[in-house]
Amino acid sequence: MNAPTKSLPVPMFAEFRRLLPGFMLCSVIGITAAFVSDHYGGPKFLYALLIGIAFHFLSDNDKCIPGIEFSAKKLVRLGVALLGARIVFSDVSDLGLAGVGALAGAVVLTIGFGLMMARILGLPSMLGLLSGGATGICGISAAMAISATLPQTKENEHYTLLTAIGVATFSTAAMILYPLVVTASGLSVNEAGMFLGGSIHDVAQVVGAAFMISPSVGDAATLAKMFRVAMLVPVVMVFALTFRAEAAKAGGAGGKKAPLLPFFLIAFAGLVVINSLGWIPAQAVEVSSDVSRWCLVISIAALGVKTSFEKLAALGWRPIVLLSSETLFIAFYMLAIVFLMRLLSA
């Protein structure tokens, strides 16, 4: 008589056991990357990618495959959703109308530039969208969020990994070089914050570059950067609606019908609203940010495990030209905006 009751948790436990080996592999890689980053410097996302690639031989292991797939495709959505707890609407008013317009323009124009350069270089438009969105919004987090809305194909996985490696590399270079540009250009605190926050890809590198100069520049740059992060909502929403039919086809016939908007995007927007109303305690925001960061690190480690250097090398030199040109485009755009705003206020 008690047999049915005892069997209820079995499917859930079986699924947990099925996912555990691959998930633990990616988690250990993520923890290792964080340790190296914390003790020796450098971006943990890039370390997670490279260490993950070194374990590519486990991507064909039957015990590891389910957990690797879960980490690469599902965990990333939780990480992106939790980013919403870091954003409040009041930050927008502090930037002013001109600042909001300039930063929104940086995002839209960089994505458009990425598409244009992809066509010029003979690369797939998907790579142009991914790299342009990652460069224009918030680096690897944006790449992973945009990738979650695209058709889940092997090619798009390669493009996502390539974009992640590229933006991590160029963002780190920008963190080192852009403070020198600020000093050489004689930018004020607000101008430096607008330039650094509007042109460097990842949040961590923005903070690192800005606080090298001063705490006040750090605050201004973080504000500008968080508005770019907030742009993730409308951009991913547009991509989700645009590629909804293709994503459903890639999922295979007989699968679930794709939702109008991905749940992680709804959760992201919901957390932005709740946090803007002041309903999320500061400690909860900090915990949410940490959980989000770990989810993204583990996800990018899983993506690294799934991809080999041979497949990346087969893509050739053109993606490097694409990513470097996008980095230069948004940097020169933000510098031009800063000097234009200075002229108009004089």
The domain spans of the chain are 99-176+230-345
- pTM of this prediction? 0.74
Cβ neighbours for 292, distance < 8 A, ≥ 6 positions apart: 78, 79, 80, 81, 82, 83, 85, 86
- Give the model's pLDDT for residue 287: 92
**Residue 111, CA distances (Å) to 145, 184, 235, 237, 290 in order:** 15, 28, 10, 14, 28
Question: Is residue 200 classed as helix, strand or coil in its secondary structure?
Answer: coil
Residue whose structure tokens are 């963190």? 175
Taken in order 96, 97, 100, 101, the sign of the CA dihedral is: negative
Q: What is the pLDDT along the chain (346 residues), one digit of tens a residue?
A: 455 555 445 677 888 899 999 999 999 999 999 999 899 887 787 788 889 988 989 988 999 999 998 998 788 778 878 877 877 777 666 788 889 999 999 999 999 999 999 999 999 999 999 999 999 998 888 888 888 888 777 788 888 888 888 887 888 788 889 999 999 999 999 899 999 999 998 877 787 788 888 878 887 887 888 888 888 888 988 888 887 766 656 555 444 555 556 677 788 888 888 988 889 998 998 999 889 889 988 988 888 888 666 666 666 789 989 999 999 999 999 999 999 998 988 7
Whole-number Å distance between alpha carbons of 138 and 123: 22
| Cα(5)–Cα(29) distance, integer angstroms | 38
Report how far residue 150's alpha carbon sits from residue 163's, in angstroms, rounded to the nearest whole number. Answer: 14
CA dihedral in degrees (65, 42, 137, 319; nearest 10)? -70
